[in-house]
Amino acid sequence: MALDFMSLEHWLAFVAAAAVLLAIPGPTILLVISYALGHGRRATAATVSGVALGDFTAMTASMLGLGVLLATSAELFTVLKWVGAAYLIYLGIKLWRAPVSEAGPVGIDERVKPWRIFLHTYAVTALNPKSIVFFVAFLPQFLIASLPILPQMVVFEITFLVLATLNALTYALMAQAARRTIRRPAVQRGVNRVGGSLLIGAGIMTAAWRKTG
């Protein structure tokens, strides 16, 4: 990737971090799994499309806010980075302690239309305030304030959206192939604790990381 405003190593670091965080099941992915369990392949295209458009909406909104923040105060931007790291640690602790239950399909009519599934998934992804807060906490860890901000944001958004779409598709296909196993409390508990540990680690690493340039 020959970009004047970003090195290949910097972009790959973002790819690795985003991939790890996306792999941790959140409300949107749990919804994708539920639709896959309840409707099979007929829901996959609708849910994946809803996730992609919803993430685009939430991420664009968060980046617009970051742009305003950067133009206002570099010191405030630094504070936001620290707050963001703390938020990641908080999410990790919350996920680690999350209770588990017998998971079943979403209680919806089998005759539901794909466009309704799409709208539902989009709304859950885009209109959840936690999505925007998460992006605001995550993106500053990789933005270099001394370099052009807009090009960095565009590259990161496109990269994240591609990864998020592939991630949602992977979970949907896995749910179809493992309808019984994925409902087991032991599996849910293991996913929660591994995911929680990864989030806590990400928060600690971003808090300790000092940007240069």
Q: Is 40 left (phi over 0), alpha (psi -120 to 50) or beta?
A: left
Report the pLDDT value the prediction gives residue 163, as an integer from 0 to 100.
93
Q: How do the domains of the chain map onto residue ranges? A: 8-208
Read off the pTM.
0.67
| Contact indicator for 204, 89 with CB cutoff of 8 Å | yes
| Contact indicator for 36, 10 with CB cutoff of 8 Å | no
Closest CA to 127 of 199, 27, 48: 27
Report the pLDDT value the prediction gives residue 211, as an integer from 0 to 100.
44
Helix (H) or strand (E) holding 88: helix 74-96
| Contact indicator for 212, 104 with CB cutoff of 8 Å | no
Report the pLDDT value the prediction gives residue 39, as an integer from 0 to 100.
74
Report the pLDDT value the prediction gives residue 106, as an integer from 0 to 100.
43
| Contact indicator for 141, 203 with CB cutoff of 8 Å | no
Spans in the chain with pLDDT lower than 50: 1-2, 103-109, 210-213
Report the pLDDT value the prediction gives residue 195, as an integer from 0 to 100.
67
Q: Which residue has the tokens 């052009």?
A: 148
